[in-house]
Structure 1
Amino acid sequence: MGEDFKKFALKGNVLDLAIAVVIGTAFGKIVTSLVEDIIMPAVGILLGGFSVEDWTYSFQGAELRYGVFAQSVIDFFIIAFSIFLVIRVFTKIKRNKDVPAEEELPVLDKKEELLVEIRDLLAKEKIGQ
C-alpha cells in the first residue's frame, strides 16, 4: 500500500495539482486582501461611508446580517474575475510559446514553378472527371 501511494503521490499531475492549489490559495489571499483592505474601503469613501457589510434586517429579535453575505458574494466575483484574468494571460503566453515561428517558404526556380503548375493542373483535371 505504501508503494502504491508513493507512485500516486509522485506522479507529475498530482505534484502539479498540489503546487497549483498552494499558489492559488496564496493568490486568493492576496486578492482577498486587495478587495477587503483597498477596493471596498475606497468604494465606501466614494459612496460617502457606505458599507455593504452594515446591511442588517431585524426580525423578531434576531438580526440578519445579510450585508456580510452580500460582501462575500462581491468578494467572490472580484476574486474569480482576477483569477480569470491571470489564467487568460498565462494561456496567451503559453499559446505564443507553442506556436512555431513561421518558416519562410523556399524560393522556387523556374523549373520547380513549372512542375508545381503542372501538378496543380493534373490535380484539377483529375477532380473534373
Structure 2
Amino acid sequence: MGMVSEFKEFISRGNVVDLAVGVVIGAAFGKIVSSLVDGIVMPLVGLLLGGVKFGDLAVTLRAAELDAAGKEIAPALLLKYGAFLQTTIDFLLIAFVIFLVLKAYNRVRAPAPAAATPEDILLLREIRDSLKK
C-alpha cells in the first residue's frame, strides 16, 4: 500500500474530519466568548471596581530613564498583571460556557430510558423458553 493511499484512508476516517470540524468551530467559539469578555464583562467589572481597565493594571518595577532634555532613554519596566488577570478571566468564562454547552448536549443526547416490556411479550418469551426445554 502506497503512502498516498494510506494517507487517503487516514484522512477519510470520520474521527479526523470530526476533529477538524471541532477545531474550527472551537476557534470561532473562542473568538465569540473573547469578544463577550472584552466588550461586555470586563467593562462591567471595571465599572464595579471604580472605572479600572484590567488591561492597564501594572506595577512599575523600574521607572523610565530620561535624559536632560526629557527624552526617554530607556522605557519603564512594568509588571503587567492586568493582562494576565483578563486572560485568566477569559479562560474561565470560555471553560464555563463550554461546560454549559456540553452539559446541554449530553442532556439532549442521553438515551431514553427503555420502555417496560409489555405483559404479552413477557408471556410469549416464557412460552418460547419452556418449549425449548
Q: How does 1:56-95 map to 2 (within 5 A)?
A: 56-61=58-63, 62-95=77-110
Deviations 1:27-63 (A, max 9, x none): 1111111111111112222332122222111113411
- Is 1:46 equivalent to 2:59 in the alignment? no
Give the counterpart letter for 2:41 in structure 1. I
Give the counterpart letter for 1:63 in structure 2. L
Distance 1:11 1:107 in 2: 44
Higher relative contact order structure (alpha carbons within 8 Å, sequence separation ≥ 6): 2
Q: 1:72 to 1:15 in 2, by over 3 A?
A: same
Shift in Å, 1:99: 2.1
Specify the SS of the correspondent of 1:59: strand
- Is 1:4 equivalent to 2:6 in the alignment? yes
Alignment partner of 1:105 out of 109, 112, 118: 118
Specify the SS of the correspondent of 1:50: coil
Shift in Å, 1:81: 0.7
Structure 1 unaligned regions, length at least 5: 116-129
Distance 2:59 2:45 in 1: 22
Give the counterpart letter for 1:38 in structure 2. I
Specify the SS of the correspondent of 1:48: coil
Question: After TM superposition, which residue ranges in structure 1, 4 or more long, deviate above 6 angstroms?
Answer: none
Q: Which structure features the higher share of helix residues?
A: 1
Structure 2 unaligned regions, length at least 5: 64-76, 127-133
Give the counterpart letter for 1:102 in structure 2. A
**TM-score with structure 1 length normalisation?**
0.74
Specify the SS of the correspondent of 1:49: coil
Distance 2:61 2:82 in 1: 15
Specify the SS of the correspondent of 1:6: helix
Distance 2:29 2:117 in 1: 42
Identity within the alignment, %: 46
Distance 1:57 1:47 in 2: 18
Shift in Å, 1:83: 0.7
Give the counterpart letter for 1:5 in structure 2. F
